[in-house]
Structure 1
Amino acid sequence: MTFSEGMRIDTSTTSTSGGGRGGRGMAIGGGVGGLIVLLIALFLGVDPGGVVSQQPMDTEGVEAAGFDVSQCRTGADANNIVECRVIATGNSVDAIFGQLVQGYTRPNLRLFTGEVQTACGPATSDVGPFYCPGDQTAYFDTGFFDVLKTQFGSSGGPLAQEYVVAHEYGHHLQNLLGNLAKAQRGPQGAEGNSVRTELQADCYAGVWAHYAAIAKQPGTDVTFLEPLSDKDIADALSAAQSVGDDRIQKAATGRVNPESWTHGSSAQRQHWFTVGYQNGDLKKCDTYRAASLDG
């Protein structure tokens, strides 16, 4: 088990929807190939609006009833129900970032299946998890965790999933600090601001992991996570490795083109998560000033 069973889950910032006609069977851009293309640009990304808002989408059924969040009460529920795990992870990230950053405010969290309307445009499950600054909401279709394991080779352990959530919340912190817009400005490619933005979010996820097993939840006197094992950290690093630009490009096209990178290599993603995890210091995550992104 990952979460302390006595942890209490707060669902007040969570909304859900389901039943849309989209999903991985009807991919934007067409099937698995479309999924891979979108994930190169968007998986663990910041704003899908530039791509998804241009795509036609039948919105009938988008607002159908989604997952029942009343099932999510304690850490025990987070250990047994993936949707509860996402919400509990968000709770823990909020608490930790709230202690580290003065004036931190919580994002919204949306669990959806199929299709969803956002301030960044309509999206389907094929986009993968994403953060929309327009409505300050992190969006998750938990079915993606299966794709992360089966198509991208991640270990699929709990901390692999929690890393994904913490990364998206890292984008929210960047938004609050005024750094998120840097992804769209300046140079691009392997040394560009898009990559630096994504690697900083990986580092922020590592900072969360540093504190999650030692910080106690106010009012419960229990830590958010149980002590992390080497296996737990390996799970997070496995997820980071599986979504490196070089690895995705190699799988999709058989070659690697650093000039088109948006998120960083597998090694870079692992490195910056590790920087955050080992130091627990947000200041160590200043990827924009790093002379080398390789460590």
Structure 2
Amino acid sequence: MHTVAVLALDGVIPFDLSTPIEAFGQTRLPGGNAAYRVRVCSATPTVDAGAFLLQSQRGLDALAEADTVVLPGCAEPTAPIPAEVIAALRRAAADGTRIASICTGAFTLAATGVLDGHRATTHWRATDTLAACYPSIAVDPVVLYVDNGQFLTSAGASAGLDLCLHMIRRDYGSAVAADAARLAVMPLEREGGQAQFIVHDRPPTPCGSTLEPVLRWMQDNAASDLTLEDIAEHSRMSTRTLNRRFREQTGSTPLQWLLRARIRQAQHLLENSDHPVERVAVQVGFHSSTAFRDRFKRITGTTPNAYRAAFRTSRSAVRR
């Protein structure tokens, strides 16, 4: 039987901890037998899980016996990882054990060094921090999960369930995974990535950014036909200086930032209005609905109609 060890560290996020326990623990083979043996382990007998204390029945020795190790996220992802935990995970990796992280559990996996040179993801709120702490990792802020073969990472919360279902499908095929998905009341595959879940009040601005006034002006005038020259004139900079400042402070160009601002406004309209997609495109500054759909798909990972269906506010249902 395939053994899954779920590692609980101090500060573990209970949702992330319970996801693999339930997903793997409830999976059944066609004959009705359990597909996985699930064990929760820790470096200490008692783990502080915030709202409660967790007593683990197994120590780090469980990692050596596991076929798969799952690392749930922790509330303080940049907190130091105990040396014995790092050493145990490295031994498991060297033995060929599959290791998967959920949410900010990617920081624990990254601390071992096994993700260096690989693509990985984590919760969208923590992707910039992960990239800054571990520059050797290619952090992908858009996807729900990344499968590198032996090492897998997922975005936050429900994306951990997406990853578990993916591993179940790898282990036992689509039929068993589909049954597990139905039991969890989850689609086996979700359209789009985590970009569609990012809050869209306005694109992120670095703390203390000297560009904040012009960014706010761009946000307020995103639907206008702004050019690079318009933005430079308003900011009282040359276009060359403006591009350099944007690269330094946002990691983007002025026009790329403007496009993201328009998409965020479109997300708000799709959630809160009945306007056709074509009208939404015009309202946020796109001259072509085709160009709007293409840009929306590239930024959010899904289509405007699919986004509306998934995130429409309950007010529309109440009116009907």
TM-score normalised by L of structure 1: 0.29
Greater percentage in strand: 2
TM-score normalised by length of structure 2: 0.27
